[in-house]
Amino acid sequence: MNPLELVKARPCPAFTVTFDGREIVALPGQTVAAALWASGVTSWRTTRREGRPRGVFCGIGVCYDCLVTVNGLPNQRACVVPVHPGDAIRTQRGTGHDD
């Protein structure tokens, strides 16, 4: 028996969002980072100077390594921003301001 059955949980159905134009499945209550990780995506930002890949580091919104663009808004911390049906998530390059 799995934990959901033990507590008689009835989770809401999954929904889709896009990441760099590709549809991924997300669950209610997940953060952007959790939805990306669950889909096998571990990097969604590049550093400003050298273009090195980054993803979740601290996981609590302190380090800013997980910045991502959500619905056209750059510099969103993927580890604390909840994901919503239809969100358009994009890899953030540099500052996220087309520089």
Mean pLDDT of 48-63: 85
Residue 99 lies in a domain: no
Report in angstroms the alpha-carbon separations of 81 from 6, 70, 89. 29, 9, 11
**Dihedral (CA of 65, 70, 90, 82) sign:** positive
Residue 54 counted as domain residue: yes
- Judge whether 4 lies within some domain: no
Per the structure, the count of domains in the chain is: 1
pLDDT at res. 98: 62
Q: Has residue 19 been placed in a domain?
A: yes
70 torsion bin: left (phi>0), alpha (psi -120 to 50), beta (else): beta
pLDDT tens-digit series, residues 5-38: 788 777 789 999 999 999 999 999 999 999 999 9
**Domain containing 76 — which CATH number?**
3.10.20.440
Collapsed DSSP state (helix, strand, coil) of residue 32: helix
Higher pLDDT among residues 99 and 83, named by residue: 83
What's residue 72's pLDDT?
Answer: 95
> What pTM does this model have?
0.83
Q: Would you say 77 and 64 are in contact if contact means Cβ atoms under 8 Å apart?
A: yes
